[in-house]
Structure 1
Amino acid sequence: MNYFPFSRRTPLRLTFWFGIAVIGVFGLIPAIAVFVISFTNIRGLPGLPVDWVGFENYVRWFSPAKVGYNLNALRNTIVYSVTVTLISNVLGIAIAVLLNQKLRGRNAFRAIVFLPTVLGVTVIGLIWTLFFNPGGGPAATVWSWFGAKSAFFGDPHLALALVIFVQIWMGLGVNVVIYLAGLQAIPEDLYEAAAIDGATGWQRFRNVTVPLLAPSVTANVLLSIVGTLQSYQLAYVLTGPSNLATQLLSLALFSQAFGGNAASGLGNTQGYAATISVIQFVIVGIASSLVLIYLRRREAKL
């Protein structure tokens, strides 16, 4: 039996168990700790007593005093996640198909598309904050041509849409790279055979590209859903932690655990933040599992 790159089975087993140990120490144990902390009133300040409060934090999350704020954060999170996932994957496939053609300078265009992914969230936030500066940014100038003004990220009717736009711009490069890898794995013979049979460009895309690109679609959709359901950094940098129009569930968690949030009426309580984290974990787990089951069945049908 081939144990490449190991000559014997023992090093292979040691490597496997070492990987399991690393995952357990840095993944499983912290997750269990967060779950346990969610049943306490720990506040992260030295010297304060820590009491076991049971399901009090969970009851508090669903209480009438908090349900309005939490439902708003949950609604924004769902809109944010679904919109970013759909648009980024549709654009990702379209751009990947275009950049997979034999075009002059396509490597340069690929680099340009991937460039925003390399930039940090803070840099991206600064760029777009300056661009949408209501006091004299390029967007304000264009707005003024039509005799209109806007606060952009300060506008409750526009802020979430702008954050979604920036998120799509920032993460599109990863989608394109994955789709490009999937496209380049499709044999050219299949396209040639379809062309000989008289298939049009759209028919080749529908009957050859889409079925064979299904695994890439599954990977990208899952990455987008999990990433956006857990994302808060971009909304925090662009609009701050207290803007109810862009309040996401993960941002509420961050504000509760580390910064406090006047809009939510919450203090700096790590126990309650752990409760939000557990609820978020359940939501992400259910959403990703349902999407994975659906996409795997679609792959089998295609």
Structure 2
Amino acid sequence: MSRGPGTERKVDRAYYWMVLPAFVLFFVLHTIPVLQGIFYSFTDSPGYGTWSFVGLSNYAALFQDPRVVDAYLFTFRFALVTTILVNVIGLAIALGLNARIKLKNTLRGVFFIPYVLALLVIGYVFSYLFNFSLPSIGQALGIEALSTSLLSDPERAWIGIVVMTVWQGAAFTIIIFLAGLQTVPEQLYEAAALDGATRWRQFWSITLPMIWGFFTINVVLALKNFLQVFDQIIAMTGGGPGTSTVSIGVLIYRGGFEGGEFGYQTANAVIFMIVIVAFAFFQLRILRREEVSA
């Protein structure tokens, strides 16, 4: 059935009317603030009152600021460790859930519950656990390592944040890995078993190559999210003890909105955005290359 000119024109107009509101909202609520932030990164604005242009001075000062260097080192260490743990634990649980066990669907729902809870709420719960519950248990059992709050130790406080983040973040990776495992044909495992392949050999030769695309998604999203760690730190340590758990996000927030360094920390945010985008592209390029070779 042929369509006249009038019908084609109505379809085009409907398409634009559907896309235009979303485009306007995205441009107003996302693009304009980003452009404003880039503009203010070249100023000495405290976030209020008068300001003046300082050119690239903010960007030059960032590389000489020990606070920024320490925050970047902490953030990358935290993101790397948490990304590895989340994916290893998530894949292990997904493999278990994908096996023929009872209550499989129920367990999937149980494991996904942490992901739908608010990070601040989980952070406060784990803060109470590390500050009060575990020390009480440690004192009762005579375990010196648990007798004091983990979050009060500058050397170990970040471990508590990692534990909480892995507990919450593994839920998403489990769901993604489960979706990937369901795409692997069962016949491949049956043929491998007939050839005498062990479970470990089947995992490396069949499972991992077949779900590598899902592994790529999990790693990229996990590293991106954990580089932006903020809520967990605010709820559990507030950046302390001292400045031992100050991430880049916490530094930008405190310096920009509480310390009168709006322009300076906006420059920090611009650099951080570039770093995250660069890491994402680098990860995708490397992991996609491995996916093709697999």
Unpaired runs of 5+ in structure 1? 1-6, 260-266
Is the Cα contact below 8 Å between 2:239 and 2:247 reproduced in 1?
Answer: no
What are the superposed Cα offsets for residues 10-33 of structure 1, whole Å, 9 maximum, x if unpaired?
244554565544433333322222
2:257 is matched with 258
The CA distance in 2 between the partners of 1:87 and 1:241, in whole Å, is: 22
When normalised by structure 2's length, the TM-score is 0.89
**Between 110-119 and 194-203, the greater mean CA deviation after superposition:** 194-203
The offset of 1:51, in angstroms, is 1.4
Assess if the C-alpha contact under 8 Å between 2:151 and 2:237 holds in 1.
yes
Q: 1:294 aligns with which of 259, 270, 286?
A: 286
How well do the aligned residues superpose, as a CA RMSD in angstroms? 2.0
1:41 aligns with 2:40: no
Q: Secondary structure at the match of 2:236?
A: helix
Counterpart in 2 of 1:231?
A: 229
Q: Deviations over 1:49-108 (max 9, x none)?
A: 121221121222223xx2x22111111011001001111101111100101112112222
Asked if 1:61 corresponds to 2:62, the answer is: yes
Deviation, structure 1 residue 152: 1.3
Look up the match of 1:28. 31
Q: Secondary structure at the match of 1:288?
A: helix
Determine the C-alpha separation between the residues in 2 that align with 1:187 and 1:115: 29
In the other structure, the counterpart of 2:4 is none
Question: 1 CA distance for matches of 2:279 and 2:82?
Answer: 15
- Are positions 1:192 and 2:190 aligned together? yes
Task: Please report how far the alpha carbon of residue 229 of structure 1 lies from its aligned counterpart in structure 2 after TM superposition.
Answer: 0.9
With structure 1 as the length reference, what TM-score do the two structures score?
Answer: 0.86
| Aligned equivalents of 1:241, 1:40: Cα separation in 2 | 27
Distance 1:282 1:233, change over 3 A: same
Number of corresponding residues? 282
Measured after TM superposition, the shift of residue 200 of structure 1 is: 2.2
In structure 2, the residue matched to 1:264 is none
Q: Residues 223-273 of structure 1: CA distance to partner in whole angstroms, max 9, x if unpaired? A: 0111011121101110014541111111101111223xxxxxxx2222112
User: How far apart in 1 are the matches of 2:102 and 2:63?
Assistant: 57
Structure with greater helix share of residues: 2
Structure 1 128/213 Cα, relative in aligned 2: closer, same or farther at 3 Å?
same
Task: Tell me the distance in 1 between the aligned counterparts of 2:192 and 2:24.
Answer: 50
Judged with a 3 Å threshold, the aligned counterparts in structure 2 of structure 1 residues 107 and 33 are, in CA distance, closer, same or farther, namely same
Q: Superposed, which structure 2 residues align to 1:1-302 within 5 Å?
A: 10=12, 11-12=14-15, 15-16=18-19, 19-45=22-48, 48-63=49-64, 66=65, 68-133=66-131, 136-142=132-138, 145-148=141-144, 149-242=147-240, 243-259=242-258, 267-302=259-294
* Contact kept in structure 1, 2:47 and 2:257, CA below 8 Å: no
> Secondary structure of the residue that 1:247 maps to in structure 2?
coil
Distance 1:139 1:190 in 2: 50
What does residue 3 of structure 2 align with? none
1:166 to partner: Cα distance: 0.8
Compute the displacement of 1:281 (Å).
Answer: 0.9
Q: Which amino acid aligns with 1:62?
A: F
Report the Cα distance in structure 1 between the residues aligned to 2:199 and 2:180, rounded to whole angstroms: 18
In the superposition, relative to structure 1, how do residues 30 and 121 fare at CA in structure 2: closer, same or farther (>3 Å)?
same
Identity of aligned residues (%): 29
Contact 1:241 1:255 in 2 (8 A): no
